[in-house]
Chain A
Amino acid sequence: MIRRKELDQDLEVLRTLLRQMGAHVVHALEEAVISLKTLDAVKAQQIVKDDAKLNAMEEEIMDIGSRLIVTQQPVAKDLRRILVAFKISSDLERMGDLALDVAKVTLRLQGQELIKPLIDIPQMADLVQVMIEESITSYLDENTDLAYKMAKDDDQVDQFYSRIITELYGYIASNPETLSQAMLLTLVARYIERIADHATNIGESTVYLVTGRRPDLNQ
């Protein structure tokens, strides 16, 4: 098979950038949840600051992909590799924004104490971190089995989410003064649940890359 040097090299750059974006998002979510658990404002501010790097990587992917479309006129799987890089980078950028939203909650809670030690939210976040890693691995290895696993993991995340919401609503009912913090924590659970949905989208992109068909794993 003939290699198309420039195209192949740049497709590899896209893969590397997506791997880096994935690692960035995993780290951002991990740090955001730690910052919330420990109400560490310095850590939270660092996450806000670092988000610019993620946006820059997304832009770089858009630039490289657009240039390849114009200069290399890719078709078939080469074209799908670029379309998928656009889609995954946009999902990852959004996931980074949601991790940043979690960090912003930490900043809003400055001067307060947590109404309860956080247990379920960090566990849910751990699961979502694994999902992000697996979604990126499914893309890098073109592993559709792993991609389809996203749907199952997402169901588990959804269960966590409803449990957390129910628990927090209970807090609000019995201690109305916890309302504003409990509301912020439900938002945190919502942000993390949305990150899982985007990881599931990455699984869908993997299936599209490999098969040319788009499944719906977010059901």
Chain B
Amino acid sequence: MEDIIDIEQLNLYYEQFHALKNIDLDIPEKTITAFIGPSGCGKSTLLRTLNRMNDMITGTHIEGSVKIGGKDIYGNDVHVEALRKQVGMVFQQPNPFPKSIYDNIAYGPRLHGTRDKKVLDEIVEQSLRQAALWEEVKDYLKRSALSLSGGQQQRLCIARALAVQPDILLMDEATSALDPISTLKIEELVQELKETYTIVMVTHNMHQAARISGRTVFFLNGEVVEADDTKELFTNPRDSRTEDYISGRFG
């Protein structure tokens, strides 16, 4: 399997704070990779470098390279909008727009120039199907997205991210605000999406990482301590710091 993300000697500073230190990490395409580690370890920061969300924070300074599909995403010729179309993101709190379900999904494609109603209809249906939400909402597409439950809203946000046909889907604690049933639905959905997309997720729920990811990366103090097959990392970690953290003996 080819690597779609290739991070080399990445260092990131917020003003004086050295948040990511000498990160070297490859992520193969069409896999689920989980980032785990204690609060402040840099896992969300690294996730946000993958679609340049950190650009919005003043004082951020980056060294090293992050390549996606072989192209350095911090190069001068990169359009951030195009990058974020290629690398979608789902956040901890579902954040649907205060618009109809249909318009939430159609928003991205319209922004990127799709106007044809028939094409938009198809995109809306396909995206909602991929996000396992179509059957629940197909008769109510004109209703406000805010009328959906939390779990449905999160699947709507996933559908919205898929509507612009990304290669990579970033998920930042995407189920931590959801009840166990909604969480399970999203986990099942993510397993299916792996067939088509590369998924990178940050989670505080180690057992979620163990359940659904193929690879797990453990971060501590801005460094990658260990990156390995999930089964290996959770049954026989190589580094004692990983062992202490995943065993709940960290501190």
Contact = CB atoms under 8 A, between A and B. Distances in A.
A4 B249 CA distance: 7
Interface string B236-251: 1100001110111111
Contact of B243 (A3, A4, A77, A211): A77
B247 A77 contact: yes
B243 A1 contact: no
B16 interface: no
A75 B247 contact: yes
Given A75-B206, A75-B210, A2 B249 contact: yes
Nearest to A72: B248
Contacts of B138: none
Given A73-B207, A75-B206, A75-B210, A1 B235 contact: no
A1 B249 CA distance: 6
B248 A2 contact: yes
B247 A74 contact: yes
B91 interface: no
Given A2-B251, A212-B235, A212-B236, A75 B244 contact: no
Q: Is the interface of A mostly helix, strand, loop or mixed?
A: loop
A76 B207 contact: no
Most chain B beta-carbon contacts within 10 A, residue among A74, A76, A77, A79: A76
A212 B238 CA distance: 10
A213 B235 CA distance: 10
A3 B249 contact: yes
A45 B218 CA distance: 57
Interface residues of A, number: 15
Contact of B250 (A2, A75, A213): A2
Contacts of B244: 1
B229 to A, nearest CB: 13
B249 A75 contact: no
A116 B250 CA distance: 63
Nearest to B248: A4
A212 B236 CA distance: 6
B74 interface: no
B107 interface: no
A2 B248 CA distance: 7
Interface string A57-85: 00000000000000001111111100000
Contacts of B237: 76
A212 B239 CA distance: 13
12 contacts: A1-B244, A1-B250, A3-B249, A4-B248, A4-B249, A75-B235, A75-B247, A76-B243, A77-B243, A77-B247, A79-B235, A80-B235
Interface of A: 1-4, 73-80, 211-213
Those 10 A-B pairs whose CB atoms lie nearest each other, nearest first: A212-B236, A2-B251, A75-B234, A75-B246, A1-B249, A76-B243, A2-B249, A78-B247, A76-B237, A76-B247
Given A1-B244, A73-B207, A212-B235, 20 more contacts: A1-B249, A1-B251, A2-B248, A2-B249, A3-B249, A4-B248, A4-B249, A75-B206, A75-B246, A76-B234, A76-B235, A76-B237, A76-B242, A76-B243, A77-B243, A77-B247, A79-B234, A79-B235, A211-B236, A212-B236
